Amino acid sequence: MARLIRNEHTGPYRIEPEDFPVGKPMFICACGLSKNMPRCDGSHKACKSEESGKVYTYEGDDRKEVTGI
Ligand code: FES
């Protein structure tokens, strides 16, 4: 499984030290779907039903399989 992500950001995400409270984990989005970057907002749940070997695009809540890649 893979996903094509359209990202309009042109710079890095800045994470301030106060964003890392001692003893509390912080989850950084690795799926590319979070609406609250760089933090994970749970949007990755949409990826759980992706099938291995296929590529997907996401537009809002709509997921499409990409063919012909
Ligand atoms: S890893 Fe991307 S929203 Fe959780």
Structure confidence at residue 15 (pLDDT): 83
Structure confidence at residue 45 (pLDDT): 94
Output the CA 43–ligand 1 centroid distance in Å.
5
Q: Is the CB of 39 under 6 A from ligand 1?
A: no
pTM over 0.95: no
Q: Where are the domains of the chain?
A: 25-69
Structure confidence at residue 48 (pLDDT): 92
Nearest atom of ligand 1 to the alpha carbon of 30: 1
Q: Is the CB of 58 under 6 A from ligand 1?
A: no
Q: Which residues of 52-65 are buried (b: 16+ CB within 10 A; e: fewer)?
A: eeeebebeeeeeee
Q: What is the pLDDT along the chain (69 residues), one digit of tens a residue?
A: 889 988 788 888 888 888 777 888 889 999 999 999 889 999 999 999 999 999 999 988 899 999 877
Cis bond upstream, residue 38 (ω within 30): yes
